[in-house]
């Protein structure tokens, strides 16, 4: 079907006369695209036709509403045109083509978005090895000789070797103050980048753990004196038998964690739920993480996060540095109605130092934990 254009004689068509077909202006086209080839100029109707009979690729599209007759309802179609404004396609509402095209045009589109719920933030910091070597030297020359036992306030089962120990690390001596300064900055960065909050971070206690073959740390969390708190683990020495083990990110790629393979010996294990790494197959989120100890790595996490340390079986010392950090929100933390941000440096330090000396309480029993 199409439109045929006839040329009429100048004086009109008389009875019995025949009009001459104008093949140049006549159009062969489907019914549904006629409206695009009929243009109105005031009360006149002009039929247009491209010089080429071949329709090009679609370059634009629009939704068109039209009626077959005044009594019929409006019909919506998505019509596409080529560069010469010729109709390439016309798809009625309800068709797959209409839905796909209108979706691309942003009208009437069914919108969908995947929302991932945050579980927690863990921050990994890589420190220069020369800094780690200096900390180790300080521990060897000061911390170990002073031998202030920290095991009374810790759950670590660190006793397999005569060198196995947990010592208090002094944050107030010259080296300790330098270390504390970096921990405070890291804690502030963690909260600022993870939660967008301006806070003051205060590392108020620290200790070192010297583990040997068979030593381990059962599942536990850490205590802070403020409502929000952070804990940190810094890996200072890693035995060769742990260094050669695979990275946990490879576990899904064929590394055998079964059959007593020992691939997580000496690793730190974190858990914040009941699901495990295999539950991802059942579309459940993974709620655990194995972290391989690497010299120079500092891991920062919320103090409520439960974690443990697996035993290892080989030569060498697994040495870590741990710290707990109080977090003070500068706007929301108030003393007698005065926010931390409104206090002088002297007032602020006085309040923060008071929290360093607050009592630690066992969350399960409510009993006070004696300071070590």
Instruction: Please report which confidence band the pLDDT of residue 19 belongs to, taking 50, 70 and 90 as the band edges.
Output: low
Q: 123-369 adopts what CATH topology?
A: Jelly Rolls (2.60.120)
- CATH 2.60.120.620 domain locations along the chain: 123-369
**76 vs 91: CA distance, rounded Å:** 9
Look at residue 21 and tell me whether its pLDDT is greater than 60: no
Q: What pLDDT digit, counting tens, does each position of 285-344 carry?
A: 888 889 999 999 999 999 999 999 999 999 999 999 999 999 998 877 777 778 888 888
Whether the per-residue pLDDT at 242 is higher than 90: the answer is: yes
For 7-16, 195-204, 287-296, which range has the lowest pLDDT when averaged over its residues? Answer: 7-16
pLDDT confidence of residue 11 = 54
Nearest to 288 by CA among 300, 302, 307, 272: 272
* Contact predicate 322/281, CB 8 Å: no
User: Which pLDDT tens digit goes with each residue over 93-115?
Assistant: 888 888 777 764 445 556 566 67
| First-last CA distance in the chain | 96
Mean of the per-residue pLDDT values for the chain? 80
Residue-wise over 245-264: b if at least 16 C-beta within 10 A, else e? Answer: bbebeebeeeeeeeeeeebb
pLDDT at 31: 43
- Work out the burial of residue 269: count CB atoms within 10 Å of its CB; fewer than 13 is exposed, 13-18 middle, 19 or more buried: middle
Predicted pLDDT at 337 = 79
Give the pLDDT score at 53: 58
Least confident of 63-77, 216-230, 321-335: 63-77
- Global pTM? 0.65
**pLDDT for 49-64, tens place per residue?**
444 557 788 878 888 8
Residue 72: what pLDDT? 74
Contacts of 309 (CB under 8 A, 6+ apart): 156, 211, 216, 217, 266, 267, 268, 269
């Amino acid at each position: 079907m199409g439109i045929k254009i006839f040329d009429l004689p100048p004086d009109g068509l008389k009875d019995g006369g025949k009009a001459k077909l104008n093949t140049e202006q006549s159009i062969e086209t489907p019914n549904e695209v006629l409206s695009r080839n009929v243009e109105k100029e005031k009360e006149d109707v002009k039929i247009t036709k491209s010089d080429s009979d071949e329709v090009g690729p679609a370059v634009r599209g629009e939704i068109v509403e039209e009626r077959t007759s005044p009594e019929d309802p409006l019909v919506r179609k998505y019509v596409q045109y080529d560069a010469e404004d010729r109709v390439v396609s016309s798809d009625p509402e309800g068709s797959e083509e209409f839905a796909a095209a209108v979706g691309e045009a942003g009208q009437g589109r069914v919108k969908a978005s995947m929302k991932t719920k945050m579980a927690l933030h863990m921050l990994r910091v890589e420190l220069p090895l020369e800094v780690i070597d200096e900390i180790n030297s300080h521990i060897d020359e000061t911390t170990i000789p002073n031998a202030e036992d920290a095991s009374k306030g810790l759950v670590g089962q660190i006793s397999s070797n005569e060198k196995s120990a947990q010592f208090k690390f002094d944050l107030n001596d010259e080296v300790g103050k330098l270390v504390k300064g970096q921990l405070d900055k890291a804690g502030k960065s963690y909260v600022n980048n993870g939660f967008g909050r301006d806070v003051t971070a205060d590392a108020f206690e620290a200790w070192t753990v010297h583990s040997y073959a068979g030593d381990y740390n059962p599942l536990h969390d850490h205590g802070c004196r403020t409502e929000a708190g952070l804990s940190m683990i810094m890996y200072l020495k890693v035995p060769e038998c742990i260094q050669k083990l695979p990275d946990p990110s490879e576990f899904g790629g064929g590394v055998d964690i079964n059959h007593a393979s020992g691939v997580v010996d000496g690793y730190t294990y974190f858990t914040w739920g009941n699901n495990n790494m295999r539950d991802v197959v059942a579309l459940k989120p993974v709620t655990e993480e194995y972290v391989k100890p690497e010299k120079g790595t500092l891991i920062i996490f919320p103090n409520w996060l439960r974690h443990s340390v697996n035993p290892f079986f080989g030569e060498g010392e697994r040495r870590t540095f741990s710290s707990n950090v109080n977090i003070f929100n500068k706007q929301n933390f108030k003393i007698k109605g005065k926010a931390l941000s409104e206090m002088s440096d002297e007032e602020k330090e006085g309040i923060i130092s008071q929290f360093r000396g607050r009592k630690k309480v066992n969350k399960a029993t409510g009993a006070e934990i004696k300071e070590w």
